Amino acid sequence: MEIKRHRLSVIDSFQGILCVLVMTAAVLPLPLDAQMTTTRGLGMGGAYTALARGVHAADWNPANLGLPDNPDFSMTIVSASAYIGNNSFSYGTIYDYEGKYLTEQDIVDIMNKIPDSGFGGHVQASVRVLSFSVGQFAMTIGVTGGSSITLDKDVFDLAFNGNDIDTQYRLHDINGMGMGIGFAGFSYGRQIPVSFTEVFALGGTLHLTYGIGYAKTDMAQMTFNTQYDGYDLDGSYEVTSALGGLGWGVDIGAAVQIEKRWTVGMSLVNIIGSVPWDKEVKKETGYIRGNQITFQDMNLDDDVLEDSSYTVDAARFSTRAPTELRLGAAYQEGPYIVTGDYIQGFDDGGWVSKKPLFSFGTEWQGLAWLPLRMGVMLGGRPGFATTYGLGLRPGHFVLDFAILNQGFVSAKGSKGLLYSIDMGLFF
């Protein structure tokens, strides 16, 4: 029996890869972006450290609660955001090849889009309800969760090119993680008399977190060899899962106002604190093995295909979001607001990166009831992203919309999209 390499249409290829993703995800419960930006801030490129006020200040810089232009009362009735993205393919990748029979060069071009470290996919969602600020105090309530997966580049090579006879394939760069957390934050900021400026404020936030669920792939690998008389297969995995308990964290910040037009702020996020995972902590280990497997053996004949898994109790552990430094400035002249942020993570995790992130944004308030926003991000986890947003603000009611496009201005070049909506009140 001769087995030849084959070519698939692009749709069939992506369907095959999707099947691999789904099957892998069943074994690899997938991390969490610890923070999702507020909608107004997202529309301004995430450059919101100096501008955030009221209930929004709790997430960006609690010191802003102590500034004189902080609202007497603000409330987020409901806020929701969702992100999906990857490190390899844009929408244009599928658009360009859809319905096309892939040539050798097409496959080379597609494979070159995948980093040597493998394909990385990520999803996250966050919801906040009934969060509010009263004067210098704010409280935020919500849940957030996400998952990510990394697949060995050879998975895509096999999907597009098929497999060769008597060649061993090793798929080792496969891992994933998933996490869900509920949280409540208590923030306070106040103005402090100083000699070097007219307005100076300090603030802090205490986060209480509850671990809803956690799962992480400690190891996943597969080796197989195609022979004339069947496949030799050897795969194994280890997964840790747990339910959590009550954890905590602390943010601190400072803010300065200069001649009412300028605001400069700094915050340190997650300087201390962690989430304990101490309930139902389990480690599952499994394997699947077989020699000279054929399609006729897919009835899982024990004499041909051997699989096994077992679960044991594991030691409790804790996780924490990476510490992050934010430096921001905001300037207002008439109906125009311009903002800029420098964000530096001290570790990699979620949306935070040790690679610096520069964010710039603007808002036009020529129509007070219809503010328009746009921004750009450079560096950090997004790499390059453009953002757009608008608000509907009749009276004290607030309804904001925003979108982040992880790529160039055109959606065709996007590798990720983040949508956000916020409904609330400001007085």
DSSP 96-155: HHTTPBPPHHHHHHHHHTS-TT-EEEEEEEEEEEEEEEETTEEEEEEEEEEEEEEE-HHH
Q: Which residue has the higher pLDDT, 5 or 250?
A: 250
Q: In the prediction, which pLDDT does 299 show?
A: 55
On average, the pLDDT of the chain sits at 84
Q: In the prediction, which pLDDT does 293 show?
A: 67
pLDDT tens string 326-336: 999 999 999 99
pLDDT tens string 104-133: 888 888 889 888 888 888 888 999 999 999
Q: In the prediction, which pLDDT does 414 show?
A: 84
Q: CA-CA distance, 287 to 346, in Å (whole number)?
A: 37
pLDDT tens string 210-230: 999 999 998 888 887 777 667
Residue 70 · residue 53 · CB < 8 Å? yes
Residue 271 · residue 346 · CB < 8 Å? no
Q: In the prediction, which pLDDT does 134 show?
A: 98
Q: What is the CA radius of gyration of the chain?
A: 25
Residue 66 · residue 136 · CB < 8 Å? yes
Q: CA-CA distance, 18 to 126, in Å (whole number)?
A: 25
Q: Which residue has the higher pLDDT, 43 or 9?
A: 43
pLDDT tens string 339-354: 999 999 988 766 678 8
Q: Is residue 137 over pLDDT 50?
A: yes
Most confidently predicted of 80-89, 120-129, 132-141? 132-141
